[in-house]
């Protein structure tokens, strides 16, 4: 049986996620929250994360505190498991969580050009609760609910990376970019999880002229028309009275059709939602 050793005391996203991804990757492991021993650091069946003052992946030691050039322990573990590069694409939060862990919120906010108070104002009570549960234990074993949750979380992250990367490749060959007045829209007919990896595809296209996303709705049989980048030249309230439209949000950023119209008719609707350049 493997063991995972994480530091005692307060819990952060770094050690929590590193432990979760290891639980998902190892067949059978016990978790211990304590300072590692010399035996732990020399044991290839012991994964020491965010503690131990040693980065030696060949011995499964993943601490970063002794070297300011290293990323957080979660990134070190993800690199070792082969998920890091894909995670950098898939998860918008992934690169910044390492920066916050290594540099702290104030220097990270300065780097991003934002007020540091945003980090505290948007902190999640869900995170806080889960971290407090992990902080309250000295060890975790397979039958315990928190162990099962963390393992499931790790498995879900791994699965999502694979699904999004596969969907990105599919979008590259099946999605279309069409003109809508002075702008463009991206159209995808994939009905199963229609928005999966769409943000990755839009980043791949890197076209500021794309202001609308047209996909099958995940609620009902029609299409969803979505404004991108909050471009105020797009307002779906302009087509709210159209008989083909089932729903328009009060702020005008999204609309849904009654049925899966032919793409030609769908694009016409999207064009009507765009404010002409002379207005």
Closest listed residue to residue 150, CA positions, set 163, 167, 168, 131: 131
Nearby residues of 179 by Cβ (< 8 Å), 6 or more positions away: 185
pTM for this one?
0.91
For position 278, what pLDDT does the model report? 64
Half-sphere exposure for 178 (CA within 13 Å, toward CB): 19
Residue-wise pLDDT tens digits, 112-163: 899 988 888 888 999 999 999 999 999 999 999 999 999 999 999 999 999 9
Strands 29-33 and 46-49 come out as: unpaired
Under the banding of pLDDT at 50, 70 and 90, the label for residue 5 is: very high
The answer to whether 31 and 54 have CB atoms below 8 angstroms apart is no
Under the banding of pLDDT at 50, 70 and 90, the label for residue 271 is: very high
Determine what percent of the chain is predicted with pLDDT higher than 90. 90
Q: What is the DSSP string of 31-48?
A: EEESPPPHHHHH-TTEEE
Strands 46-49 and 55-56 come out as: unpaired
Determine what percent of the chain is predicted with pLDDT higher than 70. 99
Q: Which domains does the chain have, with CATH numbers?
A: 2-165 (no CATH), 175-272 (3.10.310.20)
For position 121, what pLDDT does the model report? 87
Question: For 39-175, where are the E strands, in sequence order?
Answer: 46-49, 55-56, 61-62, 139-140
For position 222, what pLDDT does the model report? 96
| Alpha carbon distance 106, 70 (integer Å) | 19
CA 7 to chain centre: 25
Q: What is the mean pLDDT of residues 66-92?
A: 97
Residue 76 pLDDT > 90: yes
How many residues are there in the chain? 279
Q: What is the mean pLDDT of residues 216-239?
A: 94
Residue 279 pLDDT > 60: no
Cα separations (Å) of 15 from 62, 160, 262?
Answer: 10, 20, 50
For position 220, what pLDDT does the model report? 85
What is the Cα Rg of the chain in Å? Answer: 23
Under the banding of pLDDT at 50, 70 and 90, the label for residue 92 is: very high
Residue-wise pLDDT tens digits, 15-73: 999 999 999 999 899 999 999 999 999 999 999 999 999 999 999 999 999 999 999 99
Element (H, E) at 164: helix 145-174
Nearby residues of 36 by Cβ (< 8 Å), 6 or more positions away: 5, 46, 48, 51, 52
| Alpha carbon distance 66, 52 (integer Å) | 9
- The tokens describing 229, both together, are 């980048």
| Alpha carbon distance 11, 46 (integer Å) | 20
Residue, of 85 and 116, whose pLDDT is higher: 85
| Alpha carbon distance 89, 87 (integer Å) | 5
215 exposure class (CB count in 10 Å sphere: 0-12, 13-18, 19+):
buried
The mean of the pLDDT values for the chain is 95
φ/ψ (deg, to 5) at 205:
-70, -35
Residue 277 pLDDT > 80: no
Q: What is the mean pLDDT of residues 191-199?
A: 97
């Amino acid at each position: 049986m493997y063991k995972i050793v994480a530091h005692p005391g307060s819990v952060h996203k770094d050690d929590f996620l590193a432990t979760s991804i290891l639980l998902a990757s190892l067949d059978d492991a016990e978790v211990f929250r304590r300072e590692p021993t010399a035996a732990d650091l020399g044991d290839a069946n012991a994964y020491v994360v965010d503690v131990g003052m040693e980065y030696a992946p060949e011995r499964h030691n993943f601490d970063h505190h002794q070297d300011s050039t290293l990323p957080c322990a979660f990134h070190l573990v993800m690199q070792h498991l082969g998920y890091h590069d894909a995670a950098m694409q898939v998860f918008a939060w992934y690169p910044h969580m390492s920066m916050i862990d290594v540099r702290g919120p104030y220097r990270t906010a300065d780097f991003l050009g934002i007020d540091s108070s945003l980090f505290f104002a948007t902190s999640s009570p869900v995170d806080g609760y889960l971290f407090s549960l992990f902080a309250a234990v000295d060890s975790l074993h397979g039958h315990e609910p928190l162990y099962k949750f963390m393992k499931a979380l790790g498995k879900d992250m791994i699965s999502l990376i694979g699904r999004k990367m596969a969907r990105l490749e599919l979008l590259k060959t099946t999605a279309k970019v069409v003109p809508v007045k002075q702008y463009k829209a991206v159209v995808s007919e994939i009905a199963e999880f229609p928005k999966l990896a769409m943000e990755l595809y839009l980043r791949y296209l890197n076209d500021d002229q794309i202001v609308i996303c047209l996909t099958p709705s995940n609620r009902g049989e029609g299409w969803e028309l979505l404004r991108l980048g909050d471009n105020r030249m797009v307002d779906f309230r302009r087509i709210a009275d159209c008989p083909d439209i089932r729903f328009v949000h009060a702020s005008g950023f999204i609309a849904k059709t009654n049925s899966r119209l032919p793409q030609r008719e769908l694009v016409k609707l999207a064009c009507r939602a765009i404010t002409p350049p002379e207005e």
